[in-house]
Amino acid sequence: MIKNGAGILVVLGLLLLTFTAPAQEATVKASVDKQKILIGEPLLLKLEIKADKGKEPSFRLDSIPHFEFLKKDSVADEEVDGVKVIAHYYRLTSFDSGRWVIPPIALTPDKRTEAIYVEVVFTSPFDPSQPYHDIQDVRSVPFRLSKDFEKWWYLIALLLLLISVAVYRLTENKKPRKEVQLARGAYARAKQELKTLQTAGLTENRFYAKLVEIFRNYLSERANVNSLQQTSGSLVGKVKPFFRDAELYTKVAGVLSLCDLVKFAQYVPATVETNGAYKIVDQAVDHIEEGIKQQSQKIQPAPVVKENAPGTVKQ
């Protein structure tokens, strides 16, 4: 009888401890899928709550300095080992470059997440070993025909093609063919391309990009100065030995720097500057060509002179 009473007391004591044991305190955690993003690139923020089963705690997040919400309040919950895990997902972005902090987010006055640092940059790190990429034209949205006109499109296109072929056949013998003289050599080719560029009517950034491209191609073919994948600063250092005129060399260096500014839309040149840049590059090509020709003449061996008789010489 005493043993039975002792067993009952033990069971009651265990039950009492179970009901009087303190509930597990909720824990919070914040994380992001990346620590560094480009301006405008999406960033996923995850806020996680671990609490006792039956409780429904949640965050109230309205704004974060230097960040904007793309999507809010995507919630997922699950139960792990008797503990309820609630995850809040927020898709963010930022248009302010710099190193910003996502501050601690409070679930309760005494329960906060840790701060998270996120770096927002303009571009990914520059890799000089990558090939040179020229400026591309603006791409327009593909044109779509209306459904009523689309069924007639192929017939009209075929009709226009037949008319064009007929007109060409009727007039090809009457028009004299123009004789095209192909420029031979790097110097002649560069001069011809510069002349074409002057009347091409390109925009400023395309004009300056083409101007530097002509100069680089000429140096590569004529002077073996390969700089197609190098910066303008490296090019300026390589061409210095080819200039006997220090003033012209300084002007060429200024034009190359100006081309970089215009190419990356950091400066809008005046018409006078554009004409001056063209003339400087044209003079530089003539100057380098003249120097190369003079140097090659010095390398040629002098003629051998043989003496025949006193007072006379024979080559």
Residue 227's contacts (CB-CB under 8 Å, 6 or more residues apart) are 216, 219, 220, 234, 235, 238
For the chain, the maximum distance between any two Cα atoms, rounded to a whole number of angstroms, is 155
- Residue 45 is part of a domain; what is its CATH number? 2.60.40.10
Q: What percentage of the chain exceeds 70 in pLDDT?
A: 75
- Residue 271 near residue 204, CB atoms below 8 Å: no
User: Is 99 domain-assigned?
Assistant: yes
294 in the same domain as 193 = yes
User: Is 57 domain-assigned?
Assistant: yes
* Cα pseudo-dihedral 183, 186, 187, 192, rounded to 10: 40
Q: What is the pLDDT of residues 299-311, one digit of tens each?
A: 655 554 454 555 4
Last-in-domain residue among 121, 144, 171: 121
Q: What is the mean pLDDT of residues 83-102?
A: 91
Query: Taking the model in full, what pTM does it have?
Result: 0.38
User: Is 52 domain-assigned?
Assistant: yes
193 in the same domain as 113 = no
User: Is 282 domain-assigned?
Assistant: yes
Domain assignment of residue 278, given as a range: 185-299
Q: Which of 115, 97, 92 is nearest to 28 (CA)?
A: 115
Q: What is the pLDDT of residues 178-220, one digit of tens each?
A: 433 433 588 888 889 888 888 888 887 788 888 888 888 888 8
112 in the same domain as 33 = yes
User: Is 14 domain-assigned?
Assistant: no
Q: Is the pLDDT of residue 8 over 50?
A: yes
- Residue 46 near residue 89, CB atoms below 8 Å: yes
Q: Is the pLDDT of residue 112 over 50?
A: yes
Q: How many separate domains does the chain show?
A: 2
* Cα pseudo-dihedral 190, 193, 197, 199, rounded to 10: 120
User: Is 61 domain-assigned?
Assistant: yes
Q: Which of 245, 41, 38, 237 is nearest to 123 (CA)?
A: 38
Give the CA distances from residue 124 to residues 45, 121, 150, 154, 241, in Å, rounded to whole numbers and listed in that order. 21, 7, 44, 46, 36
Q: What is the mean pLDDT of residues 273-287?
A: 85
192 in the same domain as 114 = no
Under the banding of pLDDT at 50, 70 and 90, the label for residue 27 is: confident
Q: Is the pLDDT of residue 127 over 50?
A: yes
